Chains A and B, each alone.
Chain A
Amino acid sequence: MTNQCEIKFTKLDKEKLLLTLSGNWKLDNNIPDASVIEEKILSFSGIGYLEFITTDVAEWDSGILTFLIKINEWCSKNNIKMETGGLPQGVQRLLALASAVAEREGARRQFVREPILSQIGSGTINFVHSTIEILNFFGEVSVAFMRLLRGKARFRRSDFLLILQDCGINALPIVSLICLLVGLILAFIAAIQLMMFGAQIYIASLVGIGMIRVLGAVMAGIIMAGRTSASFAAQIGTMEVNEEIDALKTTGISPIEFLVLPRVIALVLMMPLLCIFADLMGVLGGFIVGVGMLDIGITEYYNMTVDSVGINNFLIGIFQSCVFGVLVALAGCLRGMQCKRSASAVGDAATSAVVTGIISIVIATAIITILCNVLGI
């Protein structure tokens, strides 16, 4: 006896067809395709009953079950009666169990392909909805902040301090490393061009103004979007998955006050400090290139930087960093609160928090730059 799955057809009388199965009916043993068998059965026209003999079936597993279930469904569609009497006892029992709970009506999802116009339409509607949601969230946070000012809102001080530590001191190393390198790169690129005119000294003003007015704040903002905003989204998203947010709501504690406010406030407090640090490191990067490579004197470089930067540039940088702090924290918390109830949804929330954070930073930078231009600052 071979182990190959085999099936023989014997016509017993006008209506009855006998299927003799033999071999190893296992998943990894090339079980014949149900549709082939169905065609075969049809070719015996006029069949009303199917019977089975399986005494030669050596071993079987779920493979034979899925095969028989397919045959069975096909049979009931074609008004053929399937007698399961000749099947192994275990197979009969499992088949009975599988059909014991009827499929729930409407439970199976149907995926219908939408026409392109309706896709565009629902896309637009979704966009409007998500914009409204963002505005709503912004409003709720503002209200919560007002309540805090009036001493009504509350969150746990220990939570707040932990967050403060996480988005302050813990973020320092990466912010300093990246801003140092950005300062270095900026100075290198500028050096090649400026040396052609013998104007190396202007590296000090270029790096100084570039870092302090825009880049320090933007780099710190983007790093925090990747680091902190993602972690906010994941923390809050996981709480949503575990019904912890529901538990807060039903205890009468507003999740916005309890979870979002401390995060926003902590980041708004820490961002300007990170920004100052980023500025310093960026200028240090330029300094290393200028003094180390281009032989600009230390005092010369220092004086040039101080002369060219000015307090306005510094204040604009700090202002931007505060704005970024709000945006990054809100992006993280918003995506966390919108999280659905699954592990993959938490991942999506973190991703989308980073994307939202970075996009809003870029847009805000553009707006602030244009405004400063118009106002002539």
Chain B
Amino acid sequence: MINSESHITVHDLTMAYGSFVVQRNLTFTINRGDIFIIMGGSGCGKSTLMRHMIGLQKPAAGEIIIDKLNFWNAEVRERETMMRNFGILYQSGALWSSMTLAENISLPLEEYTDLSSNDIKEIISLKLALVGLSGFEDYYPSEISGGMQKRAGLARAMALDPEILFFDEPSAGLDPISAKLLDDLILELRDSLGATVVIVTHELASIFAIGNNSVFLDSDTKTMIAVGDPNKLLAESDNPKVQNFLTRGKIHYEQTS
């Protein structure tokens, strides 16, 4: 590990929609520079966990500590300042549909920097180029494909060179080559900008290729059942659910057949 200073700490977190508990007793630490994977079956609460970490949903119990500050106990203003260091890619892309791609990326830049409009233009074309969308500046989100929207969302998330990047299923809807390029990009962002990356993903190939820390959420017991480097989990975990997930159910079929 490059650096083992803790960046985000989740302590005894319980998440619920009303009285319906999604997950409880989540405790884990994400270090600075980690590529942290949130994994688990569909509907187990991965996106919900992400919504808690980015300030959209208040924990039912427990706390989230970011940079030694208690995220949810902080004043609203303070929390907003912390959120400025986040870059977020939503599961559905969530581009602002009334704006072109260029305007989507420039909005945060205009909001938080004093750059001239020329500089902003250059940054926009750089970010779009990084995700393979050069030349699409003046397209509206409805005029590009789902995978392209995902990538444009990624460009927007990177606009401010944030310290923490949250990606919800970044490679869903991408072809294998683009998915591989995306993995390279994520590694590069971590190495060059020193960003901490939190990813929700099912893509086993990228989990093993880029992840160096992870948490596994289980929907039956409604809590996490494994935490740590996914490669180590594969080698060492004796939890059948984790093994099943990380081997695409191979273990399961070997046992039953």
Do B20 and A106 have beta carbons less than 8 Å apart?
A: yes
- Beta-carbon contact of A250 and B56 below 8 Å: yes
Binds A, one of B24-32, B86-94, B128-136, B173-181: B86-94
B20 and A244: CB pair below 8 A? no
Q: Is B55 an interface residue (CB 8 A)?
A: yes
Contact: B88 with A250, CB < 8 Å?
A: yes
Assuming the contacts A104-B219, A249-B56, asked whether A243 and B111 have C-beta atoms less than 8 A apart, the reply is no
Check if A355 is an interface residue, CB within 8 A of chain B: no
Report whether B84 and A252 are in contact in the complex, using a CB–CB cutoff of 8 Å: yes
CA distance in complex: A249, B76 (Å): 12
Given contacts A242-B97, A243-B92, contact A250 B55 (CB under 8 A): yes
* Chain B positions within 8 Å of A249 at CB level: 55-56
Task: Find A253's partner among B43, B56, B111 (CB 8 Å cutoff).
Answer: B111
Q: Using an 8 Å CB-CB cutoff, how does the interface string of B69-97 with A read, 1 for contact, 0 for none?
A: 00000000000100110101011111111
CB of B54 within 8 Å of the partner chain: yes
Q: In the complex, which residues of chain A have a beta carbon less than 8 angstroms from the beta carbon of B98?
A: 159
Q: Say yes or no: A250 contacts B219, CB within 8 Å.
A: no
How many A-B pairs have beta carbons closer than 8 Å: the answer is: 51
A252 and B111 form a contact (CB under 8 A): yes
The complex places the Cα of A239 from the Cα of B98 at a distance, in Å, of: 10
Complex interface: chain B residues within 8 A of A251 (CB): 107-108, 111
**Judging by beta carbons under 8 Å apart, are B97 and A239 in contact?**
yes
Q: Given contacts A105-B220, A106-B20, A252-B80, are A246 and B56 in contact (CB under 8 A)?
A: yes
Q: Quick check: B108 and A243 within 8 Å, CB to CB?
A: no
Determine the chain B residues whose CB is within 8 A of the CB of A367 once the complex forms: none
Nearest A-chain residue to B168, judged by Cβ: A243
Interface residue A247 (Cβ < 8 Å from any Cβ of B): yes
Instruction: Tally A residues with Cβ within 8 Å of B.
Output: 17
Q: Is there contact, CB below 8 Å, between B95 and A244?
A: yes
Expressed in whole angstroms, the Cα–Cα distance for A333 and B133 within the complex equals 34
Question: With A and B bound together, what is the CA distance between A249 and B54 in angstroms?
Answer: 10
**Nearest CB on A from B213, distance (A):** 23
Proximity bits, A253-274, B CB within 8 Å = 1, else 0? 1000000000000000000000
**Chain B contacts for A104, CB-based, 8 A:** 43, 219-220
B94 touches A242 (CB 8 A): yes
What residue in chain A is nearest B160 (Cβ atoms)? Answer: A251
Interface string of A226-255 (1 = CB under 8 A from B): 000000000000110011101111111100
Check A244–B96 contact: CB distance below 8 A. yes
Q: Which residue in B55, B80, B88, B94 is a CB contact (below 8 Å) of A244? A: B94
Query: In whole angstroms, how far apart are the Cα atoms of A253 and B156 in the complex?
Result: 14
Report the Cα distance A239→B83, complex, angstroms. 21
With A and B bound together, what is the CA distance between A104 and B42 in angstroms? Answer: 12
Closest CB-CB distance, A18 to chain B, in whole Å?
A: 28
- A119-154 interface mask toward B, CB cutoff 8 Å, 1 = contact, 0 = none? 000000000000000000000000000000000000
Interface residues in A87-143 by Cβ distance below 8 A to B read: 104-106
Residues in B whose Cβ lies below 8 Å from that of A246 = 51, 56, 90, 94
- In the assembled complex, which residues on chain A have CB atoms less than 8 Å from the CB atom of B112? 252
Residue of B nearest to A251 (CB): B108
Chain B residues with CB under 8 A of A242: 92-94, 97
When C-beta atoms are compared, the residue in chain B nearest to A254 turns out to be: B80
* Cα A252 to Cα B91 with chains together (Å): 19
A174 to B101, CA, bound (A): 35
What 1/0 mask marks residues of chain B from 95 to 139 whose CB sits below 8 Å from any chain A CB? 111100000000110011000000000000000000000000000
B24-58 interface code vs A (CB 8 A; 1 in, 0 out)? 00000000000000000001000000010011100
C-alpha spacing A105/B222, complex, angstroms: 10
With A104-B220, A106-B20 in contact, is A252–B83 under 8 Å at CB? Answer: yes
Chain B residues, Cβ within 8 Å of A239: 96-97
Contacts A104-B220, A105-B220, A242-B92: A250 and B54 contacting too (C-beta < 8 A)?
yes
Q: Once the chains bind, are B92 and A250 in contact (CB under 8 Å)?
A: no
Asked whether B20 lies within 8 Å of A247 as measured between CB atoms, the reply is: no
A105, A244, A249: residue with the most chain B Cβ atoms closer than 10 Å: A244
Q: How far is the CA of A159 from the CA of B103 in the complex (A)?
A: 12
B80 and A247: CB pair below 8 A?
Answer: no
Which A residues are CB-close (under 8 A) to B107?
Answer: 251, 253
B86 to chain A, nearest CB (A): 6
Interchain CA distance A248-B55 in the complex, whole Å: 12
| Chain A residue with the shortest CB-CB distance to B103 | A156
Do B96 and A247 touch (CB < 8 A)?
Answer: yes
Tell me the smallest distance from the CB of B94 to a CB of chain A, in Å: 4
Nearest chain A residue, comparing its CB with the CB of B159: A251
Which residue of A is nearest B21, CB measured? A106
- In Å, the complex CA distance between A102 and B93 comes to 32
Query: Is the Cβ of B220 less than 8 Å from the Cβ of A247?
Result: no
Residues of B within 8 A of A159 (CB): 98
In the complex, given contacts A104-B219, A244-B95, A252-B83, what are 18 additional A-B residue pairs having Cβ atoms less than 8 angstroms apart?
Answer: A104-B43, A104-B220, A105-B220, A238-B97, A242-B92, A243-B90, A243-B94, A244-B97, A249-B55, A249-B56, A250-B54, A250-B56, A250-B86, A251-B107, A251-B111, A252-B80, A252-B112, A253-B107
Q: Can you offer 16 A-B residue contacts whose CB atoms are under 8 A?
A: A106-B20, A242-B94, A242-B97, A244-B97, A246-B56, A246-B94, A247-B88, A247-B90, A247-B95, A248-B96, A249-B55, A250-B54, A251-B107, A251-B108, A252-B80, A252-B112
5 interchain residue pairs of minimum CB distance = A243-B94, A247-B94, A243-B90, A251-B108, A250-B88
